[in-house]
With several copies, the nearest count.
Chain A
Amino acid sequence: MEPETIKALIRRTHEVILAHAEELTDLDQAIGDGDHGINMKRGFDAIAAAADAIAELPCGKALEKAGMTLVMSVGGASGPLYGSLLMAMGKAMPEAPDSVGDIAKAFQAGVEAVMKRGKSEGGEKTMLEVLLPVATSLKDAGALDIGVLRKTADAGLASTKDMKATKGRASFLGERSIGHLDPGARSSALLIHAVCDVIEGK
Chain B
Amino acid sequence: MKKLINSVDNVLNESLRGFGAAHSDIVSVNWEPKFVQRAGGTAKGKVALISGGGSGHEPLHAGFVGQGMLDAACPGEVFTSSTPDQMLAAAQAVDAGAGVLFIVKNYSGDVMNFEMAAEMYGEMHEGEQATVLTNDDVAVEDSLFTQGRRGVAGTVIVEKIVGAAAEAGADLATCKALGERVNAASGTMGVALTSCTVPAAGKPTFELAEDEMEMGVGIHGEPGRRRVKLMEADALAAEMIEAICKEDGPRSGDPVLLLVNGMGGTPLMELYLVYDAARRLCEERGLTIARSLVGDYCTSLDMAGCSITLTKVGDEMLGYWDAPVHTAALRWGV
Contacts and interface: CB of A to CB of B under 8 A. Distances in A.
SS class, residues of chain A in contact with chain B: helix
Interface in A45-75: 71-75
A186 B34 CA distance: 30
A171 B205 contact: no
SS class, residues of chain B in contact with chain A: loop
A78 to B, nearest CB: 8
A75 B222 contact: no
Contact of A34 (B85, B139, B221): B221
Contacts of B145: 166
A33 B222 contact: yes
Contact of B222 (A32, A42, A74, A166): A32
B29 to A, nearest CB: 18
A173 B220 contact: no
Contacts of A35: 77-80, 198, 200-201
Contact of A72 (B77, B83, B140, B198): B83
Question: Which of A73, A166, A169 has the largest number of chain B CB atoms within 10 A?
Answer: A169
Interface residues of B, number: 38
B187 interface: no
B109 interface: yes
A80 B113 contact: yes
B108 A118 contact: yes
A76 B109 contact: yes
A71 B87 CA distance: 12
19 contacts: A34-B220, A38-B200, A42-B77, A71-B116, A74-B80, A74-B83, A75-B82, A75-B83, A76-B54, A76-B113, A81-B112, A117-B116, A166-B145, A166-B146, A168-B108, A169-B220, A169-B222, A172-B139, A172-B147
Interface of B: 33, 54, 76-85, 107-109, 112-113, 115-116, 139-142, 145-147, 150, 198, 200-201, 203, 205-206, 218, 220-223
Given A79-B112, A80-B113, 15 more contacts: A33-B221, A34-B220, A35-B80, A74-B83, A75-B109, A76-B54, A79-B109, A79-B113, A80-B116, A117-B112, A167-B146, A169-B109, A172-B139, A173-B223, A174-B141
Interface of A: 25, 29, 31-35, 38-39, 42, 71-81, 83, 117-118, 165-169, 171-174, 176
